């Protein structure tokens, strides 16, 4: 009798899992739909991070804010990936979560790149030159850096106005963010797949 009850319980649990899977598949959103919805807030997050770094030399606390936002980027990525995993009741594959993260970074890089371009083009058009002059000033005071080729080349770029334009800086940042997102998403997707705590009447 006990064996029959255990078998019945296992069959009941399997039936519940199959029902949950069928319902999940019926209402499941694609990663592209999720990325399109969450790409804007993620892009604004990256834009705030970039703007904080640009104006950190004007307002010192922005440097600390930039640091917090930067180290928080993997946590935000994990949040969206985990949200998708829970939304699908734990049936989202690793590659799907990874691709979701990559799409978020690509959309975020586009949105933040547009914001950064506007800032560099109209608010701080000489930002690249100001940063280069600071680097030259700091390193030229070091005895071991006197006459260093890097400083000579950098000084020449400043004198001849050869530093990257705002659009060039944005394109370079785009590829950096995309590659960084590829690596970051691969790691956070692993953590986002931790098993759900299933209960009889609710789910995580």
pLDDT of residue 13: 47
Phi and psi (nearest 5°) for 36? -65, -35
pLDDT of residue 198: 60
- Total of domains in the chain: 1
Single pTM value for the model = 0.79
Domain region containing 42:
30-192
4 pLDDT above the threshold of 50: no
pLDDT of residue 27: 61
**Winning range, highest mean pLDDT, from 16-20, 80-84, 133-137:** 80-84
68 Cα distance to chain centroid: 13
Confidence of residue 200 (pLDDT cuts 50, 70, 90): very low
**Is residue 6 domain-resident?**
no
Q: Whole-angstrom Cα distance, residue 91 to residue 97? A: 11
Residues 185-192: what's their mean pLDDT? Answer: 95
Q: Whole-angstrom Cα distance, residue 61 to residue 64? A: 5
Confidence of residue 157 (pLDDT cuts 50, 70, 90): confident
**Is residue 63 domain-resident?**
yes
193 pLDDT above the threshold of 50: yes
Phi and psi (nearest 5°) for 203? -135, 160
The rounded percent of the chain whose pLDDT value lies above 70 is 82
Annotate the chain with three-state secondary structure.
Answer: CHHHHHHHHHHHHHHHHHHHHHHHHHHCCCHHHHHHHHHHHHHHHHHHHHHHHHCCCCCCHHHHHHHHHHHHHHHHHHHHHHHHHHHCCCCCCHHHHHHHHHHHHHHHHHHHHHHHHHHHHHHCCCHHHHHHHHHHHHHHCCHHHCCCHHHHHHHHHHHCCCCCCHHHHHHHHHHHHHHHHHHHHHHHHHHHCCCCCECCCCEC
**Is residue 52 domain-resident?**
yes
**Is residue 59 domain-resident?**
yes
Residues 168-174: what's their mean pLDDT? Answer: 93
Tell the residue number behind the tokens 């990325």, with chain if given: 35
pLDDT of residue 11: 54
**Is residue 197 domain-resident?**
no
**Is residue 60 domain-resident?**
yes
pLDDT of residue 6: 55
- What residues are paired with 131 via a beta bridge? none
How does the average pLDDT of the chain come out, rounded?
84
pLDDT of residue 203: 44
**Is residue 204 domain-resident?**
no
44 pLDDT above the threshold of 70: yes
Tell the residue number behind the tokens 């606390």, with chain if given: 61
Contact 101, 185 (CB under 8 A): yes
**Is residue 8 domain-resident?**
no
96 pLDDT above the threshold of 60: yes
pLDDT of residue 79: 97
85 pLDDT above the threshold of 90: yes
Contact 24, 84 (CB under 8 A): no
Confidence of residue 21 (pLDDT cuts 50, 70, 90): very low
102 pLDDT above the threshold of 90: yes
């Amino acid at each position: 009798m006990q064996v029959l009850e255990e078998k019945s319980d296992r069959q009941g649990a399997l039936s519940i899992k199959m029902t949950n899977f069928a319902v999940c598949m019926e209402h499941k959103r694609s990663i592209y739909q999720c990325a399109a919805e969450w790409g804007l807030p993620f892009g604004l997050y990256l834009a705030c991070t970039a703007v904080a770094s640009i104006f950190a030399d004007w307002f010192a606390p922005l440097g600390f804010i930039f640091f917090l936002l930067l180290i928080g980027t993997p946590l935000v990525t994990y949040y969206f990936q985990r949200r998708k995993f829970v939304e699908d009741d734990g049936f989202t594959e690793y590659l799907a979560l990874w691709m979701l993260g990559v799409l978020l970074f690509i959309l975020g890089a586009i949105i933040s790149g547009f914001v950064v371009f506007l800032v560099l083009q109209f608010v701080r058009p000489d930002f690249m030159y100001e940063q280069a002059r600071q680097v030259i000033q700091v390193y030229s005071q070091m005895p071991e850096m006197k006459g260093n080729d890097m400083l000579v080349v950098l000084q020449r770029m400043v004198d001849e106005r050869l530093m990257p334009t705002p659009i060039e800086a944005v394109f370079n940042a785009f590829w950096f963010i995309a590659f960084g997102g590829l690596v970051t998403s691969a790691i956070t997707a692993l953590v986002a797949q931790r098993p759900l705590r299933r209960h009889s009447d609710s789910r995580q």
